Every structure is written in structure tokens, then in C-alpha cells.
Structure 1
């Protein structure tokens, strides 16, 4: 609820010293005006502060910071206790699920290592060290290896006929880092941002960690309700709209081409940055997906995140961020502070393999293999006695499955863990923390035999829950 986010925002500012013990907090009217929210929301947050002993009231004066928030002398406290209480609390619900060991890993939206060109890639590793014998003795620049940036920039220009140069590109250590860096640059506490509902759960955790106010935008097989998107942009003036419009994670849906240009026009009109996360663009089955929203952008309102290594060698962690200099320049600074540059060795290995003929051959075979695994998973789901529903994805790595009301996702997950099966519950993909009847099943990480056995066991567990 929004008033709880306001509560957390005030507590964060108290903890970092913006307001000290017995300091007067801003009036309800002033804080509501500052945050751009309703006064009643701030009132509820202040009431919760009072209830929890974090603030007290002076009649006809206002709310003040409670002395209960003062810290004892650090020298009188246990060192471990001091560190623990000083640490920022972070959440990563998806990581928590991935840490559970399972024989049937339906939670991992990764490519089965057996489908990757491991032996062929090892030849390129040797080749790279022959070409660059001193490779391990130097850093990349924070912006990324110039050779790699040039190759990927030319790739985008050739495929989408856009005006672009290497100064408008940054290499990050995976798309996850790009999302984190963008959130650090553009989000201030209680800033409104638009996110799809559902969306990539790790992004939700990143944005909440920065104190963002998440405004959900429903995403369906037909796309967005653009009238509602315009209303939300007009009403909340969001800092950005984070989206995954092509083979969407977790649903597998793809935003229709008719909406892409319209959405860019809305972004320009309301000065709302679009962050387009495109991790699965090349993982299509029947036909190529529409061009990225980035190709319709002429005014610099789209930042394009393109993951390239996920379907070649995920361990290389190569993502290219494309955008205008107004975005890329602060990103370079943030990147330099984060890690001073993605490892040069991984960039060089990737750039040489990316340019090879074998790369395209690999992609064609990989698409066939993934389509076969999707078909096997759908076949087993259809054979199960459970009335679950889904829409066949045209690409990507996941099936978004709706459970019957009699099978709660949380109960199914807990019992599946005990049977060494993992998946992603829809609730953690929902900015409203609802969607308890949905789960994400990834068909890309386990082989055909494991898919059949795992889905059959999952169906048996669901059936037992249903019959209780």
C-alpha cells in the first residue's frame, strides 16, 4: 500500500539523519505536495509512525521524531549488532528461489548449457589470447571495449536502420546491472515509475530498493491499454516506464507493432523515459518479432537494453545499453563507480564469436531446440488432469501458467520444493504482490526427459492439493 511506502521513505530519511530526535517532521500538506500524493496517504503514514513509536504528536504543532529512534553509543553496542542494524535491507525474491536445489529447475530462465556451443567457444578463447597476449593485464574502459561497441553498434544499424554511434552505447555486466545503474541514476525516494503487471521480479526488487513508487500497467496478449498509460503518465509524471515488450518475462507476450510507435509518442509528449529490456529478441520460433521501440525514437526517450550473451554463453554477462548521450554519460559515471568496467577478457571472447558464421548457425539450431522443449512442456500440461490455462509463447523461455482457484501457487511451490521441483510464483512478479493464481515455468534449462517427468510430478502435486 502507498502509505507504507511513505512510511518507509520517512524512516529512511530519519535513519540517514535528515531528521534527528525531537525534530519536527514536515506538515502533512507539505509532504503530500513534495511527494505528489494525497494528504490522506501521508496522514496514514504518520499515524503508523506514531503507532510504532517512531514519532509523537504535539497538539496544534505537528509530528516529531521520537527519542526511541536515537541510537546508543556505538562503543557500548555489540559490533555485529551495530553492523546488522546499519545495513540497508535488500530483497531478491527470485534469487531466494534460485538458491533452492532442485532436480527439475523450472525457475531458471536460462539456456541449458548442453545447448550452448561450448567446445566451439573454447576455440575462440584460445584465439582471443593469441590475438591479445596481454589481455589479462589491463582493464576495459567503463564504457566498454571500443571494438565490441563498434561491432554491436553496426549490428543495430544494419538490422534496424537507425542513426547510432559508439558514444551512444555502454557495455554492462548483464542486463541486471543496467537496470540497477539506471535505477540509481533516475530514481529518488518516492518517485513514481511505471512497471508492467506482471514484470521481471528482480527489477521490482531493484526499484523498491531505491524507494520508488511502483505504478502498475497491465500487460495482456493484446498489449497495453494506451489510454490508461497516457492517464498514468499525465497523473503521476513517472520518471520512467520499465518494460519488457518482446517475448515478455514472465508471460511470453509480445507488444503489437501498432502500439510501439504510439508508446514512443506518449513518452515524448509526457517526457517519460522508456527503458526497453530486450533479453530474448533472437529467441523467436515462427516469425521475427517487431522492431524494438528504440527504432521509433528520434528524441532520446528510449533506453534500449539488449542482452546478447544469454543464448551464447550466459557466463560472459554481456549487455549493450543504447541511448542518447544525456542518458549514456551519467551511466558511464555510475558504471565506473560500480566496477570500473566489465571484464575485458569476456568482451573480447564474445566479440570474436559474435562475428563468426557459426554464431548464426548456433542460433538457428537453438531456436529449434527451444521450440521442441516448449512443445513438450505444453503437451504434458495438456495431458494433466488439472484445469490450468496458458497462451502459447511465440518465443522466449517461459510459459505463464494460470492455476485453478483450488490450487494456490504458494502451497504448490512449498510442496514442489519438497519434491525437488522449482518454479517462479506469479506473486513475486506482481508490483501489487497479488497474482496468486499464476506461475512461471521455464522450459529452457532442463532437457526433454526432465520436462516430461517434472511436469508430470508437478501435475500430481497439484492434483493432491486440489482434492484436499
Structure 2
């Protein structure tokens, strides 16, 4: 099965030998710290390494078991947990599906809009206390569509949020995976740590299986997050964090990042060229970094039908509807070009194009089965590879 559906790096992008060496060193160099429970704040040497790289104090850093856990802790801190029904979270449209699932399990209201271009006022019952809310954004190479907020959009988002006192959770695991175009400052550099809770991860740049993410925030919020982490999982894995620290200490992050950027650029270019050739009626933006291409299908073809047909052809894709809470995405799919090596990308697109032709025929037959003169309609309907109307991207 060729998997374009999950946002992970393929095994050949991971420095297995370097991580094995780091694991061995972490086992012997500081065994007491690596093999014990440790602090809920995370492995202290790694906190200090992250702080130095970002130019902050170690007291402004929390190391977590993955970035998703960091986002969940931040949401609970900023808008309330299980006993608080007054919270509201603004998210981008579209946005990361796992965060939408996490928010759906909490007593918060989720409102989805084009952050940086749109804004909505909080909704509160008459006479009720002001709604506490926060903003969740993936401003750089967003999961799922690879979009990046322009600088004016970043500034406007922070300005609107500041006016009503809303904190911003910046989920930024792809910031350092830019392979084209000028870099943009992260939100926390623009708005400061008093306004922005910055979340990132080593899952996209070092190894997803180690599950090491982190938060950078003002020290008061970090203290609250540490207490919440201790209540939730006692401590993270000291050994996993010690391995990451040793890996970074021995070789640094810059060389692995450059290697990954070079490989991701080649894969993105290959995927886009093959999509243009074999699925010419679909549309997409060429990515400048990150992991994803957001494929807009013709209006004759839904993502759910394509996903089912692709599964039969041995390809996994992520339908767009999972990244929206209020409808939409029925004619979009997310493709991850990081998850497969080049030869499997090529075979995957070939299979996906065959699945699209099959799915388009199935949908047309379904539409026409009850219509008078269906055979005449079938003869004249557009197919993939001919003229077709593109669906709305949302």
C-alpha cells in the first residue's frame, strides 16, 4: 500500500545510524537522568538546548511527548478543561484534523475561518460572563493544504487577537522545512511570548517515533503547563528526550535539516509534475516547504469516492472533509509527499490517476442511473483529462 495519507517522513529520511549512536550514548552518558521519571518539564539538557537555539530562557520551555500533547495542554490552560463550558477556539480553514478531534472531545466551541483575513466576535449568552477564547493557527506550510500566512496576515491576526485579549497557539512544526522562497518570522517573534504560545516538534525533522515536541511560552504559562503535564502523564519519556538531545549535541540539527529540505524539494517537484501530467483536471499550489499538497478535484468527483477507489488500487489519501468542521472539502484531498520515496511517489500517482478515472465513471453512472436519456448524457459528460469544472477549494 502506497500511503500519501499520513503526515510522516519516510524511513529513508530518518538518520537511523545517527539515532542508534545517540541512543547508545544516552544509555551510558547520563543513565540516572535518562532512565528515571524525571521532571514533568522535560529532560533539562534538552530544555536548555531548545532555549539556546531560540534565544529564550530554559524556564520558557516545556518538552512534551509530541506536539499534539502540547496543543492539548495549551488549550486546556487557555480556555478551560473538562468543567469549563465557556471556552471558544478559533481555528483556520482548513486545519489539522487531529486538533479538531481533540477540540471536539472538550467542552469548547470551535469556530473555523480564514485566519489573517477574517475575524468573528465572541458569542456569549445574554448576561453571561465574557467568553474566554484562544486562536489555534498553523501559519507556515499548514497541515493540510501547505498554505503559509503572508506577513500582513500574521500581523493582522495578532492585532485582532490582542484587541480582545485572546492568546494564540502557534503550531509550527514545518517552519524549518522551507525549501523555496523567503522565510517569514514565526508568530511568537512578532507578538511576543506574552501573547503567543509556540508549539513545535522534532517529529518532522528528526524522528516521529520518539514523540518529542516542545512549547515556548512566557514563564507563567509554562508553570501552568508543567502542572497540567504532571497531572496528565506524570512525566514524559526521559530516555526519548535524552536520545534527541544527544543526537542534536553530537551532530547538530542544521545538516539533517538541509538534507531533508533537499529531499523534500525533489519529492514535491516530482509529485507536482506527475499530477500535472496524469491528473490534469485537478488543481494544486506548488509547495515551498512542509509536507503537503492540497489537491482540488473536478466538481464531477468527490474525495470520498476517490479515496475508496484509491484504496482498491493500493493508495491511501486523506479526504479534505476531515479538516473542516462546518462542511466543505468534499472535492479536496491531502497528499503527503514526505511519506514515500520517489519511486513509490511515481507509482502512487499512476495508481491514483487510474483510481480517479474509475471513481469518475462510478459517480457519473450513479448520477445518470435514474435520469432519462442517461446514455446520451454519459456520451457527452466531461471526463478527467477533458474539460471539467473545478470545485470550490473549501
Relative to the length of structure 1, the TM-score reads: 0.72
Give CA deviations for 1:245-291 in whole Å, capped at 9, x if unaligned. Answer: 01111111111122323322322211111000001111111245211
Instruction: For residue 214 of structure 1, give the secondary structure of its aligned residue in structure 2.
Output: strand
2:2 to 104, 107, 121: 104
Mapped partners of 2:29, 2:193: distance in 1: 40
Task: Please point out which of 91, 100, 105 is paired with 1:204.
Answer: 100
How big is each residue's C-alpha offset from its partner over 1:41-65, in whole Å with a ceiling of 9 and x where there is no partner? xxxxxxxxxxxxxxxxxxxxxxxxx
SS of residue paired to 1:248:
coil
1:22-421 equivalences under 5 Å are: 103-135=1-33, 137-157=35-55, 164-185=56-77, 186-187=79-80, 188-189=84-85, 191-218=87-114, 224-225=116-117, 228-229=118-119, 231-232=120-121, 237=131, 239-298=133-192, 300-357=194-251, 359-421=253-315
Give me the whole-angstrom Cα distance separating, in 2, the residues matched to 1:324 and 1:191: 21
**8 Å Cα contact 2:26-2:34 kept in structure 1:** no
Q: 1:394 to 1:426 in 2, by over 3 A?
A: same
Q: Deviations over 1:199-255 (max 9, x none)?
A: 000100111110221111126xxxx31xx32x4369895510100001111111111
3-state SS in 2 of match to 1:249: coil
Other-structure match for 1:69? none
Q: 1:137 to 1:378 in 2, by over 3 A?
A: closer
Report the Cα distance in structure 2 between the residues aligned to 1:298 and 1:404, rounded to whole angstroms: 42
Shift of 1:432: 1.0
Cα deviation, residue 197, structure 1? 0.7
Alpha carbons of structure 1 residues 218 and 332: separation in structure 2 relative to 1, 3 Å? same
Alignment CA distance shift 1:385-1:243 (3 Å): closer
Q: 2:238 & 2:279 partners in 1: Cα distance?
A: 52
Of 124-133 and 333-342, deviating more is 124-133
| Structure with more relative contact order (C-alpha pairs < 8 Å, separation 6 or more) | 2
Indicate the SS of the match to 2:31.
coil
Matched, 1:432 2:330: no
Higher-Rg structure is 1
Whether the 8 Å contact between 2:86 and 2:132 is mirrored in structure 1 is: no
Q: Is the 8 A contact 1:318 1:347 kept in 2?
A: yes
CA distance in 1, matches of 2:134, 2:141: 21
2:208 and 2:193 map into 1 onto residues whose CA distance is 33
Instruction: Give 1:356 deviation, angstroms.
Output: 3.5
Q: Unpaired segments of 5 or more residues in structure 1?
A: 1-102, 158-163
1:464 Cα deviation from its structure 2 partner: 2.1
The Cα of 1:384 is off from its aligned counterpart by 1.4
Structure 1 SS opposite 2:99: helix
> What value does the CA root-mean-square deviation take over the aligned residues?
1.9
Q: Which moved more, 1:410-419 or 1:352-361?
A: 352-361
Could you report, residue by residue, the CA deviation over 1:47-91 in whole angstroms, capped at 9, with x for unpaired residues? Answer: xxxxxxxxxxxxxxxxxxxxxxxxxxxxxxxxxxxxxxxxxxxxx
**Where does structure 2 lack aligned partners over 5 or more consecutive residues?**
125-129, 365-394
CA shift in 2, pair 1:338/1:268, >3 Å? same
TM-score (norm 2): 0.85
| Count of residue pairs the alignment pairs up | 353
- Structure 1 ranges of 4+ moved more than 4 A: 233-238
- 3-state secondary structure, aligned to 1:406: coil
